[in-house]
A and B are shown apart, each in its own frame.
Chain A
Amino acid sequence: DVKVTQSSRYLVKRTGEKVFLECVQDMDHENMFWYRQDPGLGLRLIYFSYDVKMKEKGDIPEGYSVSREKKERFSLILESASTNQTSMYLCASSSGDRGRVTEAFFGQGTRLTVV
């Protein structure tokens, strides 16, 4: 079974803290994604990566950065957490086959609360 594992299910952080959300996949996928999920807004893409050390901004990158030093690991970084970053964060991965559309596999999510 494909597995996408997020390091924490629940996190509580203080305003101004630097926060790291970790994601690991075990299927040798090229593409990895970070989304945030908010009621009434669905899933919005923050950043994605199609190769090691490569990253691309998604629709809402402000206040976030990412790191992909190894193929299996994709980290989301909140440089200075703010209360409006309280949300559910979902990591996903997919294979990089440009010739056909591939399925995205999701982790279980990290519910982050910034106080």
Chain B
Amino acid sequence: GNSVTQMEGPVTLSEEAFLTINCTYTATGYPSLFWYVQYPGEGLQLLLKATKADDKGSNKGFEATYRKETTSFHLEKGSVQVSDSAVYFCALNSGGYQKVTFGTGTKLQVIP
């Protein structure tokens, strides 16, 4: 079956530091890959997505590239802000009934 593995948190960074959150996946077929973000007290919202190999998703300064050869979709941001503090979920969707498989989430805390 499908599965997503992402790095354990929490991750604590100073403002303006570089962020990487690792994500690898196992899936049948050719899934689409997502990063969702959950701010404190809220539901999940889509941050970015990539639908095929070598696609790069980007939004709000965050980027992730769909690497089929390493089955990875690592999240990066060049300079984090305090407002980026949240839990980040890597996820995949193989289509069909649009079921989404999530990783366990990585909590990011950015300190001033």
Binding site for B on A (CB under 8 A): 4, 31, 33, 35, 40-45, 48, 50, 56, 58, 90, 92, 94-96, 98, 100-104, 106-109
Decide if A108 touches B42 in the complex (CB within 8 Å). Answer: yes
Decide if A42 touches B102 in the complex (CB within 8 Å). Answer: yes
List CB contacts (< 8 Å) of B1-42 with chain A: 31-32, 34, 36, 41-42
Decide if A45 touches B49 in the complex (CB within 8 Å). Answer: no
Binding site for A on B (CB under 8 A): 31-32, 34, 36, 41-46, 49, 51, 89, 93-105
- Min distance, Cβ A32 to any Cβ of chain B, angstroms: 10
How many A-B residue pairs have C-beta atoms within 8 angstroms? Tell me.
Answer: 65
Partner of B43, one of A31, A58, A94, A106: A106
* Complex Cα gap A4–B44 (Å): 11
Given A4-B43, A90-B44, A106-B45, A43 contacting B95 (CB threshold 8 A): no
Decide if B105 touches A42 in the complex (CB within 8 Å). Answer: yes
- Min distance, Cβ A106 to any Cβ of chain B, angstroms: 4
Contacts of A31 in B (CB 8 A): 97-98
* Complex Cα gap A45–B41 (Å): 20
Given A42-B103, A42-B104, A107 contacting B43 (CB threshold 8 A): yes
* Complex Cα gap A106–B51 (Å): 20
* Complex Cα gap A100–B104 (Å): 25
Decide if B43 touches A90 in the complex (CB within 8 Å). Answer: yes
